[in-house]
Amino acid sequence: MISVVINTLNEEGELPKTISSIGGFADEIVVCDMESSDNTREVAKKLGAKVYIHKKISYVEPARNFAISKATGDWILVLDVDEEISPKLSSKLKEIIKKPEADYYRISRKNIIFGKWIKHTNWWPDYNIRFFKKGFVSWNEAIHSVPMTQGKGADLPQKEEYAIIHNNYENISSYLEKMLRYIDAGKDNLLKGGYVFSWKDLIKKPANEFFSRYFEGEGYKDGIHGLALSLLQSFSELILYLRVWEKQGFSDKNLGKSEIKEEFSKAVSDLRWWLRKKLSWLKFL
């Protein structure tokens, strides 16, 4: 028996598409709603889902564990409400449970961002543990945490037809809306971990995020999308550390010219190294 678990918050418009993609794949659909103010729960019930309510929280991981606990299937597929599965992925997963070689499986995600499948910029293959025997996988309380697992794991082939379709960010507004939510959760995690603000992180962290996505993750192969997303993710890192600075009281410090020059020089040096390594046609560097 297969259960599909979906967490929701004000998703009456998106949920039908997700459930429709499941088709006859699942024996049970469990929707865990986080106190939606729209008709999400009513829509879910009409579409045949079992509906449970979890208190509203800023990120999904704790509610996901609750939803999984309500599923009765031997195998669980976890989907976000902005995700869909293809007929070929459905067939592959049904084939797996007939003769499983592992207790949990990582599935790649095809991220559609600003109307385009992002094949680089650290968004592909974007493997996530999403299909598993009940009791072998759980999530901890941290945002974007790696699931805790038992038993043996395996990866589905890195192919488009076996990927979860993730309708990620539709526009800039949706990106910024999610960004602020993730930043608040990330800030809390940094503070709980004992992080003390350092002004150097306002330069180092955004720069490293950009280099990681645009150069190491070959974001330049995604055209303007790759450049825009690398910059947006870099901006997100900047705001994250500014929010920590804010939370810790806007501590002040006089910055010497040599200190500032040193940090920016490091960033510029890294930029030049990446440009030479990845964009060797820029001969003037």
Tens digit of each residue's pLDDT (9 = 90 or more) over 243-255: 999 999 999 999 9
pLDDT digits (tens, 9 = 90+) for 25-44: 999 999 999 999 999 999 99
Could you report the per-residue pLDDT of 187-207, keeping only the tens digit for each? 998 999 999 999 999 999 999
Residue 142 pLDDT grade (very low, low, confident, very high; cuts 50, 70, 90): low
Coil, strand, or helix at residue 12?
Answer: coil
| pLDDT mean over 19-24 | 93
Cα gap 265→219, rounded to integer Å: 23
Domain ranges of the chain: 2-167, 172-278
**pLDDT for 145-159, tens place per residue?**
789 999 999 999 999
What's the CATH superfamily of 2-167? Answer: Spore Coat Polysaccharide Biosynthesis Protein SpsA; Chain A (3.90.550.10)
**Helix, strand, coil fractions of the chain, as percent rounded to 5:** 45, 20, 35
pLDDT of residue 285: 41
CA torsion angle 192 198 200 206 (round to 10): 30
77-109 residue pLDDT tens: 999 999 999 999 999 999 999 999 999 999 999
State pLDDT tens for residues 205-242: 999 999 999 999 999 999 999 999 999 999 999 999 99
How many C-beta atoms surround the C-beta of residue 13 within 10 A?
A: 12
pLDDT at 155: 98
Global confidence as pTM: 0.91
Q: What residues have CB less than 8 Å from 203, skipping those under 6 apart?
A: 263, 264, 267
Does residue 284 surpass a pLDDT of 60? no
Q: Do the Cβ atoms of 175 and 190 come closer than 8 Å?
A: no
